[in-house]
Structure 1
């Protein structure tokens, strides 16, 4: 596989973003890696070089995003692969999460991602080539988890806009892939990446159970290997006809199939109602 492509990765100081950045650099790719703190990137990846460009970027500030993209173009002359990885989890019942808590999750997970797409697309479009990976979640396909409604809805949004994006950019020779990871052993379930409601409501016992399970039992016991996930993304970036929907992890694969079977069953059960509404 050719390794002369330039990758632009958001949320690269930890988790999947960090694993992917390290893997790419070890294989000789060029990487522009962004984080809210450039120093944190240098500490975990290394000093800037001809192939590694650490960038401090605020996803929610479009000017900050624009500046980071322009510095990347100045340094590497192009961007070939965009990975919208930055985001965070929010675990709380819809009733107990405040408007501010919900909006902040959207600002980062959805509108921040859109800021990056909006400012990188002119270069990809001019090149008539490229690949955009938008990191959703299996929770962006199946949302039946108590306490994950806002987070799942941000990831559903990422999936929906990526389907439309794929259709919009296909004429320019650019591909888009929605990545739906299951549980991978990263920092995602730690306090720095998973926020809880400021005003929990005692009645939501299942939500509290979910909090405890994710914090105490699932954290650091996830079956997914982020290094293998990084390898998959690199290989997928070289596919002539890459996946639009990419479920990663056996858990994600199984959950997706369970939802598909459930929807098909309901379609069949309620078909007479569904088709009864025409003139």
Structure 2
């Protein structure tokens, strides 16, 4: 029995990580459905062989579900869903407006959530190798001044992904979070990508994660006498 060609649906594919994942998948002979808010910005991917569609991840769920239905109909199935849409909001907590706060969560968290909701029925009904990749960040493991909203959205995406991993493993669907270094300067990200070998889904942030784990263990050790004590005085 012939192995099915992998079919990727990628959000925010007009630039950044989504764009480079699309190019790499095409290079490997896979099918790619690349989405973004502006069709003209997806033209380079269309020229490279991708099928392109307009998708704003902040659209109402029924609109995203309609796009998912059409996308699945293109090749009959989706094997890889990549949620790359997201952005960095720079500003201290007291500086950002409620609208800016909402917009950040709407794109980074609810956009990811709704795209997953739209595609999950088709992924569950599928067979073979199926993977969902939600874009996290090094910010999923730590916090930092000046970008609290971004950090908190990426913590949320990591929590969502961990829960989805447990929910979907019985269906044979893998869920992963790419913890990529996403600094506020897009040029830094782009320069880093140009030097990468193309296996973008293998990006990890081991040193920073290890440092966070070590700090957490140290803190637990320091508080062991308190947290491990269950008796109390009346």
Instruction: Give the TM-score taking structure 1 as reference length.
Output: 0.75
Q: Which residue is 1:272 aligned to?
A: 225
Query: Which residue pairs with 1:102 in the alignment?
Result: 101
Pair 1:278–1:102, CA change in 2 (3 A):
farther
SS of residue in 2 equivalent to 1:228: coil
CA distance, structure 2, for counterparts of residue 149 and residue 174 of structure 1: 31
Higher mean displacement: 124-133 or 264-273:
124-133
Q: 2:188 aligns with which of 213, 216, 220?
A: 220
* 1:121 matched to 2:89: no
The 8 Å contact of residues 19 and 227 in structure 1, kept in 2 or not, is answered as no
5+ long unaligned stretches in structure 2: none
Distance 2:191 2:41 in 1: 27
Would you say the 8 A contact 1:24–1:31 is kept in 2? yes
Separation of aligned partners in 1, 2:169 and 2:195: 29
Contact 1:134 1:158 in 2 (8 A): yes
Pick from 36, 50, 53 the counterpart of residue 51 of structure 2. Answer: 53
Give the distance between the partners of 2:48 and 2:23, measured in 1 at CA: 13
2:18 corresponding residue in structure 1: 17
Q: Which residue of 2 aligns with 1:34?
A: 35
Is 1:7 equivalent to 2:8 in the alignment?
yes
In the alignment, is the contact (CA less than 8 A) between 1:3 and 1:29 conserved in 2?
Answer: no
Number of aligned residues? 228
The alpha carbon displacement at 1:255 in A equals: 1.5
Q: Deviations over 1:111-134 (max 9, x none)?
A: 000111001110111114511011
How big is the shift at 1:72?
A: 0.9
| Structure 1: runs of 5 or more not aligned | 191-218, 237-246
TM-score, normalised relative to structure 2: 0.89
CA distance in 2, matches of 1:255, 1:110: 22
Deviation of 1:278 after TM superposition, in Å, equals 6.3
CA distance in 2, matches of 1:141, 1:19: 24
CA distance in 2: counterparts of 1:222 and 1:119, whole angstroms: 29
Contact 1:5 1:29 in 2 (8 A): yes
| 1:203-252 deviation per Cα after TM superposition (whole angstroms, max 9, x unaligned) | xxxxxxxxxxxxxxxx438873356374142xx6xxxxxxxxxx62xxx3
RMSD: 2.3
How has the CA–CA distance of structure 1 residues 20 and 168 changed in structure 2, closer, same or farther, with 3 Å as cutoff? same
Shift of 1:47: 4.1
Are the aligned partners of 1:20 and 1:227 in contact in 2 as well (CA < 8 Å)?
A: no
SS at 2:175 equivalent? strand
Q: Distance in 2 between matches of 1:229 and 1:93?
A: 35
